[in-house]
């Protein structure tokens, strides 16, 4: 049973380009969470998704950021027209239930905007 | 707004020392409190606490929750250099984890 898989591990984008981050949850997990970690800061919640549904996106910037978790395939975090301030580590976590269990984290995608 | 505050932010000790990391929280619809260890990669799970006063223990690590005073502590005894990491506290509120800023622990030989 593979863990939470994120790819790519490292992503470099020029300002104005689009970044697509992928997260495949653990087998049997239908709940996915995205977090952003800025240098020297803790993990900040961005969005919580179940299959085909966004449950809570209160941590997502209103513009340029979107997330999806389709019926088939990985969850995608999409950042349009990236800016330098988007440079961060983006972690995905999955859990089998909505609550009461720990979330398992992927290795993260380190996005660098140049 | 839900809030999790960890202290200290940074701690440097010598190998063999005992450390106590603190986590206080204000979260609506509290469900559980979790501790993670992060060493340059993904956070790895340490403990989940849901009930007050019951100590969870794993080797040299232990943790306890006080739901009345809204805090938790993580203890590490006989520290080793391999314990050097960022320790993250997270509280599960309404359908999401709220993380503290972490404590950067450095163990010097």
Tell me: pLDDT of A1 over 70: no
Identify the residue with better confidence: B49 or A104.
B49
User: What mean pLDDT value characterizes chain A?
Assistant: 89
Cα–Cα distance measured from residue B93 to residue B81, given in angstroms and rounded to the nearest whole number: 33
CB < 8 Å to A103, chain B: 97
Beta bridge partners of A94: A32, A104
pLDDT tens string A9-62: 999 999 999 999 999 999 888 889 999 988 767 788 899 999 889 988 988 998
Q: How confident is the model at residue B11 (pLDDT cuts 50, 70, 90)?
A: very high
Yes or no, beta carbons of B43 and A56 under 8 Å apart: no
Q: Which whole number is the average pLDDT over B25-37?
A: 90
Per CB-CB distance under 8 Å, the chain A contacts of B32 are 99-100
The secondary structure of chain B in percent helix, strand, coil, rounded to multiples of 5, reads: 5, 60, 40
What is the least distance, in Å, from the CA of A10 to any CA of chain B?
Answer: 12
Mean pLDDT of chain B: 91
Which whole number is the average pLDDT over B13-36? Answer: 94
In sequence order, what are the residues at sequence separation of 6 or more whose Cβ sits closer than 8 angstroms to the Cβ of residue A73?
none
pLDDT at A19: 98
B30 versus A96: the higher-pLDDT residue is B30
pLDDT of residue A30: 87
Q: CB B87: neighbour CB atoms within 10 A?
A: 24
Handedness of CA A68, A69, A70, A73 (dihedral sign): positive
Question: What would the pLDDT profile of A61-113 be if each residue is shown by its tens digit?
Answer: 989 999 999 988 999 999 999 999 999 999 999 887 765 467 788 889 999 99
Distances (CA, A) of B80 to A17, A46, B25, B76: 44, 34, 28, 9
Does B97 contact A45 at a Cβ distance shorter than 8 Å?
A: yes
CA pair distance B21, B7, nearest whole angstrom: 6
Query: Is the CB of B43 inside 8 Å of chain A's CB atoms?
Result: yes
Residue A93: name the closest of A28, A35, A8, A19 by CA: A35
Cα separation, A113 vs A19, in Å, equals 9
Q: Where are the alpha helices (DSSP H) in B1-109?
A: none
**Residue B100 clears pLDDT 70, i.e. is over it:** yes
* Residue of A43, A107, A109 to mutate for B, most B C-beta atoms under 10 A: A43
Q: How confident is the model at residue B95 (pLDDT cuts 50, 70, 90)?
A: low
Task: Give the pLDDT confidence score for residue A109 in this predicted structure.
Answer: 95
What percent of chain B is predicted at pLDDT more than 90? Answer: 67
Number of DSSP helices (H) and strands (E) in chain A, helices first: 0, 11
């Amino acid at each position: 049973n593979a863990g939470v898989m994120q790819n790519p591990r490292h992503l470099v984008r020029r300002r104005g380009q689009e970044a697509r981050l992928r997260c495949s949850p653990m087998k049997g997990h239908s709940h996915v969470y995205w977090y952003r970690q800025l240098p020297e800061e803790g993990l900040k919640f961005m969005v919580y998704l179940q299959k085909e549904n966004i449950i809570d996106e209160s941590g997502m910037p209103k513009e340029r950021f979107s997330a999806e978790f389709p019926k088939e395939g990985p969850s995608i975090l999409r950042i349009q027209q990236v800016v330098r301030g988007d440079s961060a580590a983006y972690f995905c976590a999955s859990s089998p239930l909505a609550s009461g269990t720990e979330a398992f984290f992927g290795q993260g995608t380190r996005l660098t905007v140049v | 707004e839900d809030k999790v505050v960890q202290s200290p932010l940074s701690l440097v000790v010598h190998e063999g020392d005992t450390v106590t990391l603190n986590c206080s929280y204000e979260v609506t619809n509290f469900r559980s409190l979790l501790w993670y260890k992060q060493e340059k990669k993904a956070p790895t799970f340490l403990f989940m606490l849901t009930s007050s006063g019951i100590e969870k223990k794993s080797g040299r690590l232990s943790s306890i929750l006080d739901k009345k005073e809204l805090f938790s502590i993580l203890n590490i005894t006989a520290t080793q250099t391999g314990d050097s990491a960022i320790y993250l506290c997270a509280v599960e509120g309404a359908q999401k984890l709220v993380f503290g800023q972490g404590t950067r622990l450095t163990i010097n030989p």
